Structure 1
Amino acid sequence: MLIDIQDAPEKAKRIFTTLVDAFEEQNINPTPLNYFVWYQYYKGDNPKFRQEMDSILHDPFGYNDRVGKRLYDEYLTDTDSSSSEFDRAFRRLIDMMVKKMNAWSDKLETHTQELDECKSQLSNPNLNAEQVKAITSNVLNAASSMKESSMAFQNEMSQSSEEVKVLRQQLIEARSEAMQDELTEIGNRKAFNNAIQELMFDAQDDPSKLCLILSDIDHFKKFNDTYGHLVGDSVLRYYASIMKKSKNDNETICRYGGEEFAILLANSSLEEAQKRADEIRLGIESAQLKRKNETQPISKITASFGIASYKGEIETDEDFIARADEALYKAKQDGRNRIILETELPEKAE
């Protein structure tokens, strides 16, 4: 019984995106029960449970599988029956896992009692050979039965683990899709916001090596009005494909909004960023795009670029973006189809 993340409500997708990160950061075993406990924690529908979980996370010993089982038994065995289908499906998976664990525990207890009884019988010094043989046979049968139960339990757990792996992969893919621009298939604004925060943090030792290129397709509104939005969408896709085709490993490419795009370059100088921007500029300028079933190319397409480098902790991401945006604005003011570095901007009065 696999749970399809694509059928989950948006809130569930957001929660699972968060808990996948939490599992990685805190080295939590990705068991179905742990997924459910943490899912309910982030969902926040049970104040007492959430308060208990907060206390555990602040405790030096923190969260572990044993604590998760206790929390599930104490707080989560009677979740609201009005929850979504996704919640109910996930809950069924957890209930099935708990039943298997309890059944295995019962079998283990039975086998242990059988072995204890055999041990007690063997302590009798007056046993004859036939009695010892019979007790030994019972011990072997109990051990064999225990082994079979153990193997069956391991197989069941392995199968459930595979379901969790599939679920986790679906969650990762859902997170990736949530960060992707549907039209151009590059990162969206949310992906950009996340990336710039991470890269700014990583660049603290040498901030100037983090560069931002903002680019904007020139006269795009006029182009849309002339040829229609379908052709406009094709141009956006083509522009994104030019950037993706020559993308380097140190680049994060995103659609910043409308016809504006952003590239974050780690470990790059302004000069290297300028060279990269010019490569893209020439690529779109030389494009010979044609409408379907037409031989005549559509109007020439150009783009303008503004580039800035990060200044470190003294500025916010908004400051960083604003300087690249100012350079882009100047590129448009100066005639478009050009690149302006922040170093070319007029100095501001103190």
Structure 2
Amino acid sequence: MKRTLWLEDGMKFVGKGFGAPADTMGEVVFQTGMTGYQEILSDPSYCDQMIVLTNPLIGNYGVNREDFETTIPMAKALIVKEVCDTPSNFRSTATLDATLTRFGIPGLSDIDTRMLTRHLRAKGVMRGVLIDGELTWDEVRVRFDEESPNDQVARVSTKRTYVSTGTGPRIALIDFGAKLGIMRELMKRDCEVVVFPHDVTAEDVLRYEPDGIMLSNGPGDPKDVPTALPLIEQLMPTTPMFGICLGHQLIALANGANTFKLPFGHRGANHPVLELETGAVTITSQNHGYAVEETSLLDTPLIVTHRAVNDGTIEGVRHLHHPTFSVQYHPEAAPGPFDANDLFDRFMQLVQENKQKVGI
């Protein structure tokens, strides 16, 4: 099946279709990880995005039931150089093609993904239209006049509060599009995890008397989630708070800082990050298109704790007066290195110190 990708600037790529036989439109982004395509595809932060994987062969170890990061992937499309139809791995239960078909996600293969990635690096990420067959530019460009949705967080967040039992501290996880990896890391530490929808109020969270607050990752522009700011402002003074990715950006906004869109974002499993206090460099897994604007931190109570080695952007902040910190990258990895996994232990220590301070 011939399938064509048109970019918003008129560039096109013609290849072969796999997965679901569907036309779609979304933001075209690239991911540089060599493995982890199942976790990437099912990461809620990729909602409404068409993912270009730079590794040339994808699908060779199949798909299994354990490595999904959400139950229903929300990515718009998967774009690869070559897709493997005969995976070989003892954990594999399905091919990538069958998985995409199951979730109604179209795929595109047999194109020059290196050329596409270089184009996005030079021009910045942009929207694309993926269609079966081949239309003219005049026929396609009218589709770009459609408004892009900005309700991604509402679509990927849980609709109800639920509890995962544990014998340790009670952690309120605010779900802006949380990866299951965050839940797994908290449960490894015996936490009782109460998962809340993205638009929960501070009053509803406090009824559960949490020992700590976790702000999850999620898709889209952090400025499209204004309901989170009063929640953060009210919870910060008394309850230890840890933000990851979108949660990090929301903490910055709630404290008066600003965020901006990166030209092509950070998406991969090998991004070096410098911890300013210790001088240690950690290899991290990242997936974000926005970052905190450094000059906007000058009149806020936040200080920079981590910085990206590649481009110098902010990768972590800490509050000067409240037990609040956040990072732009993913310490739960999946996929990627677990070098930064100790941040969950730091959060647990902060929770325990706060409990002792208040005499619990």
TM-score class, shorter-chain normalisation, is under 0.3
TM-score by length of 2: 0.27
Higher normalized helix content (fraction of residues): 1
TM-score by length of 1: 0.27
Larger radius of gyration: 1
